[in-house]
Amino acid sequence: MLGYIIRRLLLACPLLLIVSFITFVLINISPQDPVELVLQAQGIPNVTDELIVQTRVELGLDQPFIIRFFHWAIACLQLDFGDSYVTGKPIWSLVGPAFLNTLKLTLVSSVVIIVISILLGVLCAIREGKWMDKLVRAVAFLLTSMPSYLLSAILIWYFSVKLDWLPTSGMDSYKSYILPVTVTAISYAGIYFRNVRSSMISNLNEDYVLYGRASGLPERKITLHILRNSLQVAISIFGMAIPIIMGGTVIIENVFAWPGLGSLSIRAIQSRDFPIIQAYVLILAVAFVLFNTVSDIVNAAINPKLRRES
């Protein structure tokens, strides 16, 4: 098992390098000169050619592209993403707190989504084709097809404005989590529970289920065995769900004024603050790679066949 973990981590290293390079390239192909953006943000009225050249040297933009990339990549390993073009503050002092706030919302939402998806997936698989299965899938389809901003507006109007039970924005207390987590769970649980249901139904048709029932095993024990065998697909799905949810909270964070990466990235895009955008894209990309690696390791721990095949 240790050898498998080492191999997966070694495979993730070149992938992270490629991801960071693509991130750096995408930001640097912008048609707008970052030097002009910096000078505009500083409010300098008269931008001369000499000032542009001087600022370009100070930012290191006069160096070759590949040299700038390696300097940037090495600095990112030390959590140094540079300085904001608009405020001049270190990027990590802005991104760090926002990342923690987004991570809190993502983890709470992920736990709720995983629990709901497993419960509904198992229930619908056991009741396949019956009225409960059809009703749950129909409601899930209706709710997941509804835009998250519309669902957020409805919940805010009813629970915050009409009933005055929950806050409309911010993250002052545990009540602030209820509406954003609810919207996130509704948006994603309806998708992931169908994957759990499909995996459960596939295992229900396996021979070992027939043999277990023929041997007189309790139905609860058979269901738990099916669920354990279905975990391999579920772990891969839920492992990738966390970075997907983290990247998908942009709209929800802006609707509920949640001080996370989504809100920060929208402000950075509006002000063309490229270093913040660059850090945001890189963090999400690294999260995808890391969670994919972790889910593979967990699957290998559950299923030894994967270790042997690798």
| Distance separating alpha carbons of residues 160 and 164, to the nearest angstrom | 4
- What's the average pLDDT block by block, 10 residues per block, for the chain (310 residues)? 70 81 76 69 68 75 81 83 80 87 88 85 80 83 81 86 81 83 84 79 74 75 74 71 80 85 83 82 84 75 60
Looking at the chain, how many residues does it have?
Answer: 310
pLDDT at 45: 66
pLDDT at 256: 86
Backbone angles phi, psi at 90, to 5 degrees: -60, 140
pLDDT at 310: 54
Phi-psi region of 216 (alpha: psi -120 to 50; beta: other; left: phi over 0): left
| Distance separating alpha carbons of residues 139 and 9, to the nearest angstrom | 41
pLDDT at 303: 63
